[in-house]
């Protein structure tokens, strides 16, 4: 037996808007992930290769906070 779900039919324009909104959110998530990975790798290089672990931790925490705030404000 097939079950049917009572959902209102959306117009193609509404479906396109919903799809675009989902795509934009996913793009922002991917951009955040790439920027955060780059930040972490640069902080690790600064700590291990540059022998400045305190500055690397501060830069990592500050950069992560700045990324979170920037993506929260613009979204």
Q: In the chain, where are the structural domains located?
A: 25-74
pLDDT at residue number 7: 59
Spell out, as residue ranges, where the chain has pLDDT lower than 50.
Answer: none
Residues 67/36, Cβ–Cβ less than 8 Å: yes
pLDDT at residue number 9: 72
Question: Tokens for 17?
Answer: 């808007």
pLDDT at residue number 68: 96
């Amino acid at each position: 037996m097939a079950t049917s779900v009572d959902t209102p039919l959306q117009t193609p324009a509404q479906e396109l808007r919903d799809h675009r909104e989902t795509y934009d959110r996913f793009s922002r998530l991917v951009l955040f992930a790439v920027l955060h990975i780059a930040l972490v790798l640069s902080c690790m290089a600064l700590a291990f290769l540059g022998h400045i672990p305190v500055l690397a931790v501060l830069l990592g925490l500050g950069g992560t906070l700045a990324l979170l705030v920037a993506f929260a404000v613009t979204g």
